[in-house]
Amino acid sequence: MSFLVWRLHRHQVYWAAAALAVLAVLLVVTGTTMANDYRAFFATCSATQNCPDAGSVLFRGDGAIIDLVDATLIVPLLFGLFWAAPLVAKEYEGGTQNLAWTQGVTRRHWLSTNVMWVFLAAVVWAGALTGLVGWWRSPENALGTRFDAFDIQGIVPVGYAVFAVALGLAVGSMFRRVLPAIATTLGAFFAVRIVTAIYIRPHFMAAITKLLPLGLSTRGAPAGAWILSSGLVGPDGHYYGNAISLNQVPAACRIVQFGGKGMTPTCLAAHGFHQRITFQPASRFWAFQGIEGAIFLLLAIALVAFAYRMVLRRDA
């Protein structure tokens, strides 16, 4: 059965391996250059005792490759769309699963073998990719920007790949048609990922809130912190956010300049206004990775159980 799976899907494996090899060469070449620039920059500024903001000096000419690395965010989805969703749905759509089951192969063995190999491929590919991306981003991570690329490094990309595969299998076993399975997998994957990133991830652990003097912006947060919100707080403790209007500030702080109206931060500070920031510290990066990875792993287990139920108990 394993040999049959290999024969059926070997071309997908070849293309995936070739794509990974090309990307690996590109990342190794550019990553080595970035690492050398990083070391040279800090060696020079340490010798001269003049170190400007490294983030504004380094990596400014790497926009295209940075965009390519950011695009690896969709790689886990590709496993769900083009490997997992058609894996079961195509067999049912063509009726070929009945031929397999009449050759002495049980439904459970047929499904288990296919599931094992597609999960193995997804985990190996995603693990290799996230390792490459993590190494490539190591200079930027050293500057404290790890949370900025939370979705493409660490362990969560592997969790996303496992979830995408499980989702494709579950949807394919339910619809038993390739195109509906692919479309549903696409929509469901993005829906779960967006809801998790925007509404759930910020609350994995209780956020930290700090009051800062006006003018510091978010520089009062620890280096590499994930800033969740930032805005003005009045002397009475009321949080205005960034949408404070002129009629909400003391009259003495209102100014007319260049034909427009505004307010002076110095005056606001003198009247008791502060800047409030809410953030997750950089030290929680791996804790957040573990929590989110576990969430997607549990979702994947539930989806695989659903797929097994649909295949083993539903009439062919």
- Of 202, 206, 227, the C-alpha closest to 217 is 227
Q: Which token pair is 250?
A: 């003391």
Would you say residue 67 lies in a domain?
yes
Structural domain includes residue 104: yes
pLDDT at residue 88 greater than cutoff 60: yes
Residue 135 lies in a domain: yes
Q: What is the band of 260 on the pLDDT scale with cuts at 50, 70, 90?
A: very low
Q: Please state the rounded mean pLDDT for residues 222-250.
A: 78
Compute the distance between CA of residue 185 and CA of residue 81 in angstroms, rounded to an integer.
Answer: 7
Given a cut of 70, whether residue 58 has pLDDT beyond it is no
Residues 99 and 137 in one domain: yes
Q: Does 6 score more than 70 pLDDT?
A: no
- 145 and 195 inside one domain: yes
Q: Are 190 and 219 in a shared domain?
A: no
Q: Which two tokens stand for residue 9?
A: 């899907």
Provide, rounded to the nearest whole percent, the portion of the chain with pLDDT above 70.
77
Res 290: pLDDT: 96
Q: Are residues 90 and 168 in the same domain?
A: yes
| Average pLDDT for 278-285 | 91
* DSSP result, 196-232: IIIIIGGGSSPPEEEEE-TT-TTTTSPTT-EEEEEEE
Residue 20 lies in a domain: no
148 shares a domain with 71? yes
pLDDT top residue among 267 and 53: 267
In a domain, 54, yes or no: no
Reply yes or no on whether the pLDDT at 82 is more than 80: yes
Same domain, 93 and 74: yes
Looking at the domain assignment, is residue 183 inside a domain? Answer: yes
* 170 confidence band (pLDDT: 50, 70, 90): very high
Is the same domain home to 80 and 152? Answer: yes
Dist. CA 276–CA 220, nearest whole Å: 10
pLDDT at 258: 40
User: Is residue 48 assigned to a domain?
Assistant: no
Domain range for 138 is 2-6+33-42+62-206+282-313
- Angstrom distances, CA of residue 66 to CA of 69, 133, 153, 179, 235: 5, 10, 13, 32, 43
Same domain for 154 and 231, yes or no, is no
| Domain co-membership, 271 together with 234 | yes
Residues 229 and 155 in one domain: no
Tell me the sheet residues that pair with 204.
none
Q: In this predicted model, which residue has the larger pLDDT, 311 or 300?
A: 300
Assess whether pLDDT exceeds 50 at residue 257.
no
The residue assigned the tokens 């990922």 is 193
pLDDT of residue 140: 79
The two beta strands, 260-263 and 254-257, are antiparallel
Whole-number mean pLDDT of the chain? 81
| Residues 239-249, mean pLDDT to the nearest whole number | 71
Residue 27 lies in a domain: no
**Is residue 240 located within the same domain as residue 294?**
no
Q: Does residue 263 have a pLDDT over 70?
A: no
Mean pLDDT of 165-194: 94
Mean pLDDT, range 23-51, rounded to an integer: 75
Q: Are residues 72 and 149 in the same domain?
A: yes
pLDDT for 63 equals 65
- pLDDT over 80 at 256, yes or no: no
The count of structural domains within the chain is 2
